[in-house]
Structure 1
Amino acid sequence: MMMKTTAPDITECSPLVTIGIPVYNVEPYIEKCLLSVLNQTYQNLEILVVDDLGTDNSMQIVAALQKSHPRGDLIRIVAHDMNKGIGEARNTAIRECKGKYLYFIDSDDFIESNAIQLLVEQAEKYNTDVAIASHRRVALDTGEELPTYQYAKYQLFQGKDAFANYVCQDLRWHVAIVVWNILFSAVFLRKNDLQFYGRKEEDALFLSDYYSEVNTAVIIPDITYNYVSRPNSIMGYMARKQIPIREIRERFQTDSIMTSHCARLKDRSFYDVHCARVMKHKFRAVCVALRHRHRFTEKIFNEEIRQELKHPASISEIIRFKRYRGFHFFFYLLSKLPSSLFVCFSYILGRTMKWI
């Protein structure tokens, strides 16, 4: 008589993955986001919802799904004692994560049903620090697919600086400036004390901090994440007649931290390009300030804008740079101009580059 066999329980042989979801005033979107996570083909999940104390019914929706969905017991809620912003919510997820891996998703986005399965397969195969997949942008109102960020091919990076040298091969962005849709090793995050700073441009700073520490990474072309583009999101400047002055100052503060963190890379082969990428990022912030300064709720001073472009390297370091030396000299000297002249030249340059 033939004995009946059963498939092994995937939870017994697959690593636990924590999915970190910061929640703050996303009532219209959180159900779709959570359902996309609850309906994953990958089974061994912890869904860590970080309540950042919004004022709408987002958390009531989370609680209802926790009770009604067949897999609702996977949801664990951690509440802040005050609103701290998305960066601190992600730091809470890093601290509270019980999984071998941590995957961030923003609470107004949603993922494909096989997203975690695809990433875990690659992470386990190569013991990665990070496994990165592609994403698409989706219009909120119409569901129309907008220009998609899809990696052209499968890539594996192994060895010290292999991934960093890929990121720093030139000034283009070879990886998306996001922290979602990446499967992070929890040990990697904690070993390198990686955390989020500030409330604006925290993703760019986190990328600037983590890529240099990666020893093994995989990039896959599969689209696993849907980024919902909505005009009234915290990223939108153009949709508003008035912009709180704190937003640009918070961005400047985050960029100041990015500048100070450059010093730890002085002895690395890609330091020259890393600094150039930081300066490019910071000049974009200067252009944002100049383009929208008439809409800020308070006056922003020329000297504030000039300080944003402080160069992370000394002039002696720039002289020794092998790549982008002229680029560095130009921005170093530009940052030394009197603030009124700095603003004038920066505005002309920004207009020429069509960044203003």
Structure 2
Amino acid sequence: MSFNPKVTVAIPVYNVEAHIANCLNSVFDQDYDQIEILIVYDVSDDNSLQVAMDTLVSSKFPFRVIKKNEVDKGIGKSRNIILDNLTGDYLFFIDSDDYIVSHTISLLVKEAELNNADIVAASHRAVDEEGIITKVFQYDEKKVFDNGSFKKHVYVENGYFSVYSWNKLYKTTFLKDNNLRYIHNVVEDAVFSFLEIRHLTKIVLLPDITLDYLIRNTSITNAIMYNDLSLETAEIYISIRDFEYSINNPKIFEDVCSNIDVFNFCYTMIVRDSYKSKRITDQDKPELCRKAFKTPVIGLKDFFSLLLAKKKKFVLLLMIKMLPFRLNMLMVNFYHKRRNF
């Protein structure tokens, strides 16, 4: 390691009274000494701030707490405030209900320095509120990619890469030189992940499981499961797709594969989840579907290569592209009738 770089460990805090102490204590337990803790507090309905302040008294690391105004609510805005205020050579996000193992920061810094990487991403596991592991999200082995090979890995070879900003170590100069920002307040990681892939020079993926991701009953994930998505969130899914359509080049094969992925994501979130939401009116749902059926430009020369690379996603796209709206809606309604059996 050429020097002892400083790491900003950034924690957006909102309605996590029962969990923030565990999160902070996992940061205090790090075996790396050049850490600053940066908390951005969103006005909450509980005692999150007081619990955080009481816990920070025991911190061996310097810390700062930024309190947001009511009008600036949202995790996307919190992450942008962090980007504007970090002072470390590297940035590590952790959500305030998650926790990390004691060697997380030292491991990621070591790999970043050895490989001169813009990003180092480690593996994680999901746990429920009883502490039971429900799923493991793990890279199969350590891999180092440059920009071109990583785009091929993710978009063409369909390799796993976490869309989330947490459990990744970002080089601060990489973030600032490319002016990376969050443009949505929820589902905020999606576009940011796309942009980090677009701009990175080198990335390291690690199989080491360094973070436990807490699945809470009040999370957005559960809102999806219980058909409780808002129209605003559904429109964000469409906005994510349209943003990537606008940036990607339909003449570049990796970009076309990326467009197919984001089309599939948007279609799934609208047709599978938003369509059943109790918070979206029956009048709004057909128009949402009409927007979700907007397919990307596909060149004839890429047809067989896309069929080989994207398989079912490409077949679905072709069906949506070729069938009239009325038949597409019949398919949607048939799917939901089958789903309710």
Same fold (TM over 0.5): yes
Task: Give the aligned partner of residue 203 of structure 1.
Answer: 189
CA distance in 2: counterparts of 1:21 and 1:355, whole angstroms: 39
Instruction: State the Cα deviation string for residues 13-53 of structure 1 (Å, max 9, x = none).
Output: 41011111111111111111111112211110111101122
CA distance in 2: counterparts of 1:342 and 1:194, whole angstroms: 37
- For residue 301 of structure 1, give the secondary structure of its aligned residue in structure 2: helix
User: Does structure 2 retain, via aligned residues, the 8 Å contact 1:87–1:196?
Assistant: yes
Task: Give the aligned partner of residue 79 of structure 1.
Answer: 67
Q: What pairs with 1:212-251 in structure 2 (closer than 5 Å)?
A: 212-237=198-223, 240=226, 242-251=228-237
CA distance in 2: counterparts of 1:243 and 1:349, whole angstroms: 19
After TM superposition, the score normalised by the length of structure 1 is 0.84
1:96 maps to amino acid? N
User: Does structure 2 retain, via aligned residues, the 8 Å contact 1:199–1:250?
Assistant: no
Task: Give the aligned partner of residue 154 of structure 2.
Answer: 167
User: Does structure 1 retain, via aligned residues, the 8 Å contact 2:118–2:171?
Assistant: yes
CA drift at 1:148:
0.6
CA drift at 1:200:
3.3
1:167 maps to amino acid? V
CA distance in 2: counterparts of 1:46 and 1:290, whole angstroms: 40
Task: Give the aligned partner of residue 88 of structure 2.
Answer: 99
Task: Give the aligned partner of residue 289 of structure 2.
Answer: 305
1:275 alignment partner, one of 253, 256, 259: 259
- For residue 95 of structure 2, give the secondary structure of its aligned residue in structure 1: coil
- For residue 8 of structure 2, give the secondary structure of its aligned residue in structure 1: strand
Task: Give the aligned partner of residue 111 of structure 1.
Answer: 100
For the pair shown, which has the larger CA radius of gyration, 1 or 2? 1
Task: Identify if the C-alpha distance between structure 1 residues 166 and 24 changes in structure 2 by more than 3 Å, giving closer, same or farther.
Answer: same
User: Does structure 2 retain, via aligned residues, the 8 Å contact 1:195–1:206?
Assistant: yes
CA distance in 2: counterparts of 1:347 and 1:256, whole angstroms: 25
- List runs of 5+ in structure 1 lacking aligned partners: 1-9
CA distance in 1: counterparts of 2:181 and 2:318, whole angstroms: 29
Task: Give the aligned partner of residue 142 of structure 2.
Answer: 154
CA drift at 1:296:
2.1
- For residue 168 of structure 1, give the secondary structure of its aligned residue in structure 2: helix
User: In the alignment, does 2:117 pair up with 1:128?
Assistant: yes
Question: Number of aligned pairs?
Answer: 334
1:23 alignment partner, one of 13, 18, 34: 13
Percentage identity across paired residues of the two chains: 28
CA distance in 2: counterparts of 1:144 and 1:297, whole angstroms: 33
User: In the alignment, does 2:306 pair up with 1:324?
Assistant: yes
CA drift at 1:197:
1.8
CA drift at 1:96:
1.1
CA drift at 1:345:
2.6
Q: CA RMSD in A?
A: 2.8
After TM superposition, the score normalised by the length of structure 2 is 0.87
User: Does structure 1 retain, via aligned residues, the 8 Å contact 2:119–2:171?
Assistant: yes
CA distance in 2: counterparts of 1:241 and 1:266, whole angstroms: 34
CA distance in 2: counterparts of 1:64 and 1:303, whole angstroms: 49
CA drift at 1:330:
5.6
CA drift at 1:285:
1.4
User: Does structure 1 retain, via aligned residues, the 8 Å contact 2:154–2:161?
Assistant: yes
User: Does structure 2 retain, via aligned residues, the 8 Å contact 1:54–1:83?
Assistant: no
User: Does structure 1 retain, via aligned residues, the 8 Å contact 2:227–2:276?
Assistant: no
User: Does structure 2 retain, via aligned residues, the 8 Å contact 1:18–1:47?
Assistant: yes
Instruction: State the Cα deviation string for residues 210-254 of structure 1 (Å, max 9, x = none).
Output: 112222111111110100111221221356475433332333333
CA distance in 1: counterparts of 2:77 and 2:215, whole angstroms: 23
CA drift at 1:151:
1.3
Task: Identify if the C-alpha distance between structure 1 residues 186 and 336 changes in structure 2 by more than 3 Å, giving closer, same or farther.
Answer: farther
User: In the alignment, does 2:36 pair up with 1:46?
Assistant: yes
